Amino acid sequence: MSARLEIDRIETSYGATRVLKGVSLDVAPGEFVALLGSSGCGKTTLLRTIAGFLSADAGEIRVGGRDISGEPPDRRGMAMVFQSYALWPHMTVAQNVGYGLRLKKWDRARIDARVNEILAMLKLDGFGHRNVTQLSGGQRQRVALGRALAVEPQVLLLDEPLSNLDARIREDVRHEIKALQKSLGITAIHVTHDREEAMVMADRIVILDAGQIAQVGPPETIYNAPNSPFVAAFMGATNVVRIEAERSGEAIVVAPGAGNRPARLARPGPQGFARGKLVAHFRSEAAELADAGADFADSLMLPGRIVQAAYPGGVWRYSVAVGESQFLVDAPEKRALGDAVAVRVPADALHLYQAGAS
Amino acid sequence: MGPNRNISILLTVPALVVVALLFIYPLGFSLVGAFQDKAGAWTLGNFGRAWDLYRLDTAFTVVIVLVSCALIAFFSVAIGGYLTLGESRVAKAILNFVYRWPLFIPFIVAAQCMRTFIARNGMMNMTLVYFGILDLDQVQGFLDWRGIVFTFVWKQTPFVALMVAGAMAGLDRATIEAARNLGASRLRILVEIVVPQVSRTLAVGLVLSFVTMMSVLSVPLMLSGQSPSMLTVNMAWRINSVGDYGTANALGFVSYLMTGFAAWFYLRHGMRERAGR
Ligand SMILES: Nc1ncnc2c1ncn2[C@@H]1O[C@H](COP(=O)(O)OP(=O)(O)O)[C@@H](O)[C@H]1O
Ligand SMILES: [Mg+2]
């Protein structure tokens, strides 16, 4: 029942405000794509455009090769799970799940059988007669999922379905949804603003930034090779240091700067880079704390002072003041506030971009 | 907290006194009056007279008010539904602008306008004749129970529609989109998704309209002179022309029971709904 979904240069506006600025995306049959972006970047808008609740100003949407841009929402073979779940409070669980089948004029017995099947699949057996207002968040979420799956859609659209759940339940539900999607072989687009959720659930991640796709790729590529400072920062490489460097063969030579010592990094730097300013992003867990005087080869060294310490669990997280900037660095050992240290960032932990690239 | 609380209770005293003096006292007075004869002795005679003279009018009143309520419910759901689910922005804007006007027109003015509008030679018939929809010899006046219902519906629909449309606007739009997503038509969405979620508001609006219509004198008085008439007209007649306060109080007691029943129905419904949540 799964189909290829092609989104071709879609543009959508609210009144005069253009929200989607030409989004193109190919989703293979049975693929699970996570649409990741910060709040307000247009994720819901894209999903609602795909579902047909908003009409695109330009572009095409195809399901299984068929252009559905002009079709009403119910002719698109898509089912949506809403962020608020949007369950109908005046109906029971079974009535919610079976509503789409009633619209399809299935007979009573067949609807009951299908609803029971869905409820069993979602571990909601015996909840059919409950009022949806008497369910927990996780159960409501599953009813919403069941309502969407009951009609056997070709494409499943999920709008932040987990963001209203407790952190602990969320982890379980992630795996449940993913397993269900795989076993049904359904094509799915899952909207989220949670990086980790996208990483663990998706076959492929799409990063959306202000109505445009910033990067598309498998989780490990997005994580390890973000193609822009925006994606790097969004994927957790929030420490930023500006450096002057020059290319030398397959390495770059970093000049001493306001925060950094001179260094030689055994990597070529961004494509087409010869010399000039670079923006380097790195993750707190990819850096280390060294003693103030220590020096390491093939690393960027940033001497500074510890100004804050916290213990989020497993490792200590230090805030290190280096010149005007502050960096977050994880380290296993306990150090005192005010200690002089050097932040060591190994060359392969740096994401380098030409300054001014964006 | 203690002294503060006493002060706030103290501050409500003037309001309570006003309510007691202007409302509870006269209400109690007329309720008691329903069970007393002219000399002040206890009796059920007033109710006997009311039953003999006005049982048809009582039924007439109930039917008129219930029919009006049904029509008001229908039209206010239609208006609210169009404002919530309609496609045309222009039509919605116009409807939204226009539908509230009758709210600002007092019953007595509305009744006066209706007299000239729906009479045998009134504007409505003449317009229909002008456009060839009716023949001149087919026209009939509506200055009877139909005129009363027409005026009640015209006057009260905007009030209920205002409440219902507000409640509909407050619904989670996603509950509507979820139904559309599964293929429900607009009408089905209105009937199966939207109205059930605003049924409490609709019920409140109808109960308030019920009570309002029960207490309007001008409309039945001006639009339908003939018998049977509504209880308000009968009460006015007993007091103004006959000086018979006892029977008027008995009729008042009967209409009080009716509105009380409506209120009880609403409360019971509301309780059950809340218990269901
Ligand atoms: N109904 C609307 N009318 C006007 N602007 C809207 C509407 N819905 C969303 N927007 C705007 O469009 C942008 C994208 O919104 P949305 O797609 O909901 O973001 P996301 O789901 O990624 O948080 C936001 O700037 C938001 O303010
Ligand atoms: Mg959103």
- Determine the Cα angle at A332 with ends A326 and A333, to 5°: 85
Q: Six-digit token pair at B35?
A: 């069970």
Confidence of residue B272 (pLDDT cuts 50, 70, 90): low
**Structure token pair of residue B206:** 């109808």
Do A206 and A267 belong to one domain?
A: no
A311 and A205 belong to one structural domain = no
A252 class by beta-carbon count within 10 Å (0-12 exposed, 13-18 middle, 19+ buried): buried
pLDDT of residue B271: 62
Same domain, A104 and A139: yes
Q: How many CB pairs under 8 A join A and B?
A: 62
* Token pair belonging to B55: 């049982």
Same domain, A222 and A317: no
Q: What is the pLDDT of residues A244-294, one digit of tens each?
A: 999 998 899 999 988 899 999 998 889 888 999 999 999 999 999 999 888
Last residue of a domain, one of A201, A227, A253: A227
Same domain, yes or no: A347 and A314: yes
CA distances from A12 to A15, A42, A78, A209, A212 (A): 9, 9, 19, 15, 11
Ligand minimally distant from the alpha carbon of residue A19 = 1
pTM, full prediction: 0.83
For ligand 1, say whether the CB of A208 is within 6 Å of any of its atoms: no
Q: Do the Cβ atoms of A97 and A127 come closer than 8 Å?
A: no
Q: Could you tell me if residue A161 is inside a domain?
A: yes
pLDDT tens figures, A34-44: 999 999 999 99
Nearest CA owner, ligand 1 atom 20: A40
Number of other residues whose CB lies within 10 A of the CB of residue B63: 13
Q: Supply the ipTM of this predicted assembly.
A: 0.82
Q: Are residues A268 and A200 in the same domain?
A: no
Pairing mode of beta strands A351-354, A275-282: antiparallel
Does A220 lie in the same domain as A100? yes
Among residues B77, B107, B94, which one has the least CA distance to residue B217?
Answer: B107
pLDDT (mean) for A71-79: 90
How far apart CA A178 and CA A182 sit, in angstroms, is: 6
- Tell me which of A170, A198, A227 is where a domain ends: A227
| DSSP secondary structure code for residue B241 in this structure | I
Q: Residue B270: what pLDDT?
A: 66
pLDDT over threshold 80, residue A358: no
| Tokens coding A228 | 């822009």
Is A147 at the interface with chain B, CB within 8 A?
Answer: yes
What's the CA gap between B251 and B249, in Å, rounded?
A: 5
| Residue A47 CB–ligand 1 contact under 6 Å | no
Beta carbons of B43 and B37 less than 8 angstroms apart: yes
- Greater confidence (A120 vs B135) lies with A120
Give the relative orientation of helices A108-121 and A137-150 as an angle to the nearest 10 degrees: 130
d(CA B86, CA B79): 10
Q: Does residue A232 lie in a domain region? A: no
B171 touches chain A (CB under 8 A): no
Q: Is A16 in the pocket of ligand 1 (CB under 6 A)?
A: no
Q: Tell me the CATH class for B57-276.
A: mainly alpha
C-alpha span between A179 and A170 (Å, rounded):
14
- For A350, how many CA atoms within 13 A lie in the half-sphere containing its CB? 30
Last residue of a domain, one of A173, A204, A227: A227
Q: Specify whether A159 is located in the same domain as A275.
A: no
d(CA A330, CA A287): 7
- Give yes or no: residues A308 and A190 share one domain: no
Position in ligand 1 atom list of the atom nearest CA A37:
22
Q: Do residues A78 and A115 lie in contact, with contact meaning Cβ atoms separated by under 8 Å?
A: no
Give residue limits of the domains in chain B: 57-276
CATH of the domain at A54: 3.40.50.300
**Which of B182, B191, B193, B277 should be substituted to probe chain A, the one whose Cβ sees the most A Cβ atoms within 10 Å?**
B182
Instruction: Compute the C-alpha angle A341/A346/A349, nearest 5°.
Output: 120
Residue B247 pLDDT exceeds 50: yes
pLDDT in tens, A328-343: 999 999 999 999 999 9
The confidence band for B277, taking pLDDT boundaries of 50, 70 and 90, is: very low
Main-chain phi, psi angles of A289, to 5 degrees: -100, 130
Q: Is A45 in the pocket of ligand 1 (CB under 6 A)?
A: yes
CB A225 within 8 A of CB A238: no
Range of the domain at A131: 5-227
The DSSP H or E segment spanning B16 is: helix B2-19
Tokens standing for residue A212: 């445009």
Cβ contact B174–A79 (<8 Å): no
In a shared domain, residues A123 and A40: yes
Contact criterion met (CB < 8 Å) for B184 and A104: no
Nearest to A271 by CA among A247, A255, A254, A253: A247
| Same structural domain, A208 and A276 | no
Same-domain check for residues A249 and A164: no
Name the domain count of chain A. 2
User: Domain containing A246 — which CATH number?
Assistant: 2.40.50.100
